[in-house]
Amino acid sequence: MIRKNLHIIILLFTVQSLFAQVTFKTVVSKNQLGLNERLRIEFSIDKQGADDFTPPNFNNFKVLAGPSQSSSFSSINGKTSYKLTYIYIIQPSVKGTFTISSASITYEGQIIKSNTVRIRVTDAIEIPEDPDDPRYVASQNIHLVAEVSNLNPYVGESISVVYKLYVNISKVNVQNTREVESPSFNGFWNQNIEVKKWVAKNGSYKGQPHRFVIVKKMVLIPHKAGRLTIDPMEMEITAGVPIGRRDFFGNMLMNDVNFTSTSGKKIINVKELPYQNKPANFTGAVGDYDFTVTASKTELNANESSQIKVEISGTGNLKLVKLPGIETPKELEIYEPEHKENITTTLGGLKGKVYDQYAIVPQYRGKFKIPEVSFSYFNPKEEKYHTINTNPIILNALQGKILNEEVSTSSNKKMVISNENDIRYIQLKTIFVSNEKKSDFYDSNLFYILMILPLLSIPLGIFIGKKKKQRDSDVIGNKRRKADKLARKYLSQAKKKLGKKEAFYIALEKALHNYLKSKLHVETSDISKERIAEILQDKKVDSQTIDEFKTVIENCDYARYAPSTNVMMKQEYEKAKEVIAKIDKQL
């Protein structure tokens, strides 16, 4: 029995000593760094078979790359060594002194934790102008540039922004890139043109030969005049800088560095469209357009319809153009138009066509005229307005009722046929009913009920008064009820204002704001896109729904200055209802 216990004790000591030999540690490239510097952090274990690695929570840091893995194995004089490393590249987001907590990993069923590390973050540092500093060399030979096609466009005129990455390949090479900050385009309608593949081309930067690739292409349409700013795009770049030595095989050795390149701000001075010679029917179309109104057929049989197509084609702000309507005689039945678009986005602007197609059915036989339709647009290259007038369309209905016969028939007199049954409802006998009162009101049941009713209303009034007092003292509840009532009011007002652009979008925006005041207990002074996003995130609303809500708010602001169709307004109204329903469900 003693020998058995001794064996168990020896086995336990052996297992404990085996685990004591496992090393899992955290190593950082530096313990003090500037706010704009990067930190390399490694988590290493020296035993094979470890898995389920869990990194620490990098509070106050953002992960730029990782985790990447590396492993090494060596055997010298019969002694083996092994190392598995998980690597991250992180950057601090705020200044201060922080502790990065332990990572954990599982080895033979046991959870092992690494050591913690303490990091001090100081102010952002300037890259020294040292020609031997790899970061300085990389920053001087890699440039992110935003090229704008027109810095002084008109309102509604399409411009393009092309983001290019220039590299002096004789002094540095790019190993990896990552977009860390997307540009913002406040005051512009914008459309991204997908860059499917980066293709390197020869070019020059400040007179020096460089290779460049196009990383992003955008088409912008300003919707208001004045000084507008395109915020910079930022890109995290990993570059290799030669250190002047070669390896055994003759390959140049590189020093890898990480730095951020920015395209810088761009100022766009947007010109107001000229007032002189502006046509009365101009609705904001800017570009180079053609305009047609055509009929699928002009001669119709009974119950046949003709498709009238109102089409605009060309290049410009096509998605923002409002199509003119058509007028028809009252003898033609006209249905709601079907709206269709066939548009491609190019650096020169939106190109293609948009059209409304009406179905028209004649109610009578005859010829009916659909009057001419006019369309006006502004050509920014010529800097003048153009008006296109179409020819009137004559529809010839070959069958059906003749309009004049129908009118004359309706005015013909008809013979009145006498019938003795027509006077059968004349009353020939009467029944006398006395008006003498059967009983006096005084001392009646109704008299006593009316006497007691005021007494019964006293406790009811006291109860209602208490409830009203409680309700009046509930300040927060009253604010919520008032905001909720206003939200319903304005949403209904928005629906009533469909077709009236500015009034509709004002009512819709007010409804959204008052909904927030009702549900999130915020005041009017706190309503901003940033504050809304912050509060909704605290309420556990998912980011997609938050983005949709912000988009609806932005569209309300934008649409006041841009042309908008009834179809677009209905879409915005339905989108607002959908977003409110999503937020309500998640709250």
CATH number for the domain that contains residue 493: 1.20.120
Residue carrying the six token digits 């085996």: 18
Q: Is residue 426 part of a domain?
A: no
Report the pLDDT averaged over residues 333-353.
88
Residue 506 in tokens: 């004002």
Q: Is residue 445 part of a domain?
A: no
Work out the mean pLDDT of the chain and round it to a whole number.
78
User: Can you give the pLDDT at residue 147?
Assistant: 92
HSE of 345, CA atoms in CB hemisphere, 13 A: 17
Residue carrying the six token digits 């307004």: 569
Report the pLDDT averaged over residues 229-246.
80
Q: Is residue 280 part of a domain?
A: no
Query: Are residues 138 and 118 part of one domain?
Result: no
Longest dimension (CA), the chain: 137
Query: Are residues 351 and 241 part of one domain?
Result: no
In terms of average pLDDT, the best of 19-33, 363-377, 473-487, 535-549 is 363-377
Q: Is residue 317 part of a domain?
A: yes
Query: Are residues 144 and 261 part of one domain?
Result: yes
Query: Are residues 230 and 197 part of one domain?
Result: yes
Whether 576 contacts 491, CB under 8 Å: yes
Q: Is residue 451 part of a domain?
A: no
Least confident range of 18-22, 322-326, 346-350, 574-578? 18-22
Kindly report the CATH number assigned to the domain that includes residue 78: 2.60.40.10
Confidence class for position 407, pLDDT limits 50, 70, 90:
very low
Whether 117 contacts 56, CB under 8 Å: no
Query: Are residues 322 and 399 part of one domain?
Result: yes
pLDDT for residue 13 is more than 50: no
Confidence class for position 250, pLDDT limits 50, 70, 90:
low
What residue type is assigned to position 126 of the chain? Answer: E
Mark out the alpha helices in 474-565 (DSSP H runs): 475-496, 501-520, 529-538, 543-559
Look at residues 245, 270, 295 and tell me which one is the last residue of a structural domain: 270
Residue carrying the six token digits 């949403």: 491
Domain extent for 547? 475-586
Distance of CA 96 to the CA centre of its chain: 35
Report the pLDDT averaged over residues 346-361.
89
Query: Are residues 182 and 95 part of one domain?
Result: no
Confidence class for position 577, pLDDT limits 50, 70, 90:
confident
Q: What is the pLDDT of residues 434-461, one digit of tens each?
A: 555 556 666 677 777 877 878 777 888 8
Look at residues 87, 122, 157 and tell me which one is the last residue of a structural domain: 122
Look at residues 64, 89, 122 and tell me which one is the last residue of a structural domain: 122
pLDDT for residue 424 is more than 60: no
Cα–Cα distances (Å) from 360 to 306, 336, 371, 446, in that order, read: 5, 10, 14, 67
Query: Are residues 263 and 229 part of one domain?
Result: yes
Whether 367 contacts 332, CB under 8 Å: no
Mark out the alpha helices in 521-565 (DSSP H runs): 529-538, 543-559
User: Can you give the pLDDT at residue 75?
Assistant: 67
User: Can you give the pLDDT at residue 17?
Assistant: 44
User: Can you give the pLDDT at residue 108?
Assistant: 80
User: Can you give the pLDDT at residue 148?
Assistant: 92
Query: Are residues 111 and 139 part of one domain?
Result: no
Query: Are residues 366 and 297 part of one domain?
Result: yes
How far separated are the first and last CA of the chain, in Å rounded? 66
Residue-wise over 3-31: b if at least 16 C-beta within 10 A, else e? Answer: eeeeeeeeeeeeeeeeeeeeebebebeee
User: Can you give the pLDDT at residue 452?
Assistant: 81
Q: Is residue 340 part of a domain?
A: yes
Query: Are residues 531 and 560 part of one domain?
Result: yes
Query: Are residues 198 and 140 part of one domain?
Result: yes
Q: Which of 512, 505, 510 is CA-nearest to residue 561?
A: 505
Query: Are residues 376 and 323 part of one domain?
Result: yes
Residue-wise over 164-196: b if at least 16 C-beta within 10 A, else e? Answer: bbbbbeeebbbeebeeeeebebebbbebeeeee
The DSSP 8-state label assigned to residue 424 in this structure reads T
